Amino acid sequence: MNNAQLLINNCASCNLKFYGFDTMSTEQLNIFKESHCRVEFKKGETLIKQGARCSNLVCIKSGYVKMHVEGLGGKSLIIKVLKPGDFIISPGIFDDYRNHFSASAITDVNTCLISIDAFSNVFHSNDQFAESILRHNHQLMQTLYNQLINLSHKKMTGRVADTLLYLSNEVYESNIFYTTLSRQDMADLSSVSKESLIRILKDFKDSGIILVEGNQFKIQATTTLQKISQAG
């Protein structure tokens, strides 16, 4: 094993900072290191399958992943888009050991998979780590509350505006972005039909709020979008 590989495979020298991992001792980082597998997923592949046994903490090293729940009649709802530095703890951990959602690669993705045993070990021996995991969880829950409000109280235009602001602010962190999400994905993220999404995108484009060229987006009028989002 050469030096470069050593660096790559050592959690202590990982170039990404995962939320809460800074509370871990060298020894604890070693526990992660010992248990981890580096796995690469191709675009479209499934990282986590709803209903299957959950066996890993999934850390995203590079690429983008959609977290979605599979509903009825083949329909799907996207909860969140994950980016490098994010990780996924299946809520089944400590409970029924099942995944309650799926995660799929929307680009090629590099991951580190840490075993649940290693995670559990550190969770139990490091209370600061435990606290940050709980906090991480609460933040995800916050996202879910917002989604619930969006779905139940906002009309389509407001929800699509939210999706655009979300992608721009939280995911791609720029008002110009190229997305590998399909129109169907964007519809699943906004909880509207694909056709409705396309029409609303066209409206926004016609009113000069955004520029769209295929999957290349530019948010021109952020405040207008925010108003549309607020108005519901």
Residue 183 found at the interface with DNA (CB under 7 A):
yes
The one among 5, 13, 182, 230 contacting its own copies by CB under 8 A = 230
Residue 199 found at the interface with DNA (CB under 7 A):
yes
CA atoms within 13 A on the CB side of 75: 12
The one among 47, 59, 122, 201 contacting DNA by CB under 7 A = 201
Residue 58 found at the interface with its own copies (CB under 8 A):
no
- Per-residue binding string, its own copies, 158-197, x by CB under 8 A, is ---------------------------------x------
Rounded to the nearest whole angstrom, what is the least distance from the CB of residue 62 to its own copies in the complex? 27
Residue 137 found at the interface with its own copies (CB under 8 A):
yes
Select the span of 39-47, 58-66, 141-149, 214-222 touching its own copies (CB under 8 A): 141-149
Alpha helices (runs of H) in 9-126, residue ranges in sequence order = 26-35, 116-125
Alpha-carbon dihedral of residues 29, 31, 37, 43, nearest 10 degrees? -50
Sign of torsion over alpha carbons 180, 184, 190, 191: negative
Instruction: List Cα–Cα distances, 60 to 57, 116, 163, in angstroms.
Output: 10, 16, 22
C-alpha 126/C-alpha 6 separation (Å) is 26
C-alpha 116/C-alpha 66 separation (Å) is 21
Site residues, its own copies (CB under 8 A) = 69, 71-73, 75, 77, 79, 91-95, 100-101, 123-125, 127-128, 130-135, 137-142, 144-145, 147-149, 151-154, 191, 230-232
